[in-house]
Amino acid sequence: MKTFKPTSPSRRQMTVVDYGALLVSGKDKRHKPLTMRLRTNSGRNNRGVITTRHQGGGNKKIYRVVDFLQNKLNVPGRVESIEYDPYRSAFISLVVYKDGERRYILAPKDLKVGDEIISSEKAPLKPGNRIKIKNVPVGYQVHNVEIRSGGGGRLARSAGTFAEVLAHEGGLTDLRMSSKEIRKVSSESWASIGQVSNIDYNLTNIGKAGRSRWLGIRPTVRGSVMNPVDHPYGGGEGKQPRGTRRPKTMWGKITGGRKTRHKKKWSGKWIIQRRPKVR
């Protein structure tokens, strides 16, 4: 992590990930054929109504098309660069394959420029290689895991995350996620070896309100300072307690201790053990 001299109250607390070893994003740095501009909606729907609050503004960003499928089988590739991606917490790698094609992939921890990677059913067990999860020994860490074979990576894609292989049985593999949730996936699914890069990302301290605005995060107003018409916590003279038995959203929906996952969600049958409750 990178810290700063305490030249101001915000600088005193601010911490950022050290990007010194990366290829810095810029006009001539990224691989342009794999980039595109995404329209920003500022949390609004097609009628212009805010459906997700506290979004808007922020610096302009260019989207990098990342290959989560990595279906170029048995063709070795060489890591050309490891880059910052403004749309995700993890770093990405630009890989050039033997046939000359270039693709962006999620960069695992300890992957370096010049390393060779490959997607193969029985690839060597080293960071960056992609392999069928049935061929990964118990205890190994994997990321960018498919839920269904050929569906592209869905699990363990953010910075510092991984899934630990626990067991193989009956065409299914048990995985322990970073959240301690244990779930099953098809043993025919593909996964990449290693832990996702940028493991210090969770230690970032924003430091000041302006930096949140750069990230596209708008201010949040506390319910207790609103009027009674605007929030269940609003009203009263001076500093008042919540005044409701259970914590609620501004629309009166119970938010504390309530299960938010749909009971009949299709993937619920694959979850063996839910993540522990944070107290």
Q: What is the pLDDT of residue 279?
A: 66
- Residue 61 is given by DSSP the state -
Q: Is the pLDDT of residue 25 over 80?
A: no
Q: What confidence category does residue 224 fall into, taking pLDDT thresholds of 50, 70 and 90? A: very high
Average pLDDT over the chain, rounded to whole? 92
Angstrom distances, CA of residue 180 to CA of 19, 53, 163, 242: 29, 30, 9, 33
pLDDT tens string 45-79: 999 999 999 999 999 999 999 999 999 999 999 99
**Cβ proximity of 26 and 10 under 8 Å:** no
Query: What's the rounded mean pLDDT across residues 19-40?
Result: 78
Q: What is the pLDDT of residue 144?
A: 97
Q: What confidence category does residue 28 fall into, taking pLDDT thresholds of 50, 70 and 90? A: low
Which CATH number is correct for 18-202, 3.40.470.10, 2.40.50.140, 3.30.230.10, 3.30.70.20? 2.40.50.140
d(CA 17, CA 5): 16
pLDDT tens string 109-121: 999 999 999 999 9
Each domain of the chain, given as residue ranges in start order, spans: 18-202
Sequence-distant (6+) residues with CB within 8 A of 130 are 70, 117, 118, 119, 120, 123, 144, 190, 191, 192, 193
Query: What's the rounded mean pLDDT across residues 135-162?
Result: 95
d(CA 123, CA 133): 11
Query: What's the rounded mean pLDDT across residues 122-150?
Result: 94
d(CA 223, CA 167): 47
Q: What confidence category does residue 26 fall into, taking pLDDT thresholds of 50, 70 and 90? A: very low
Q: Which residue has the higher pLDDT, 275 or 26?
A: 275
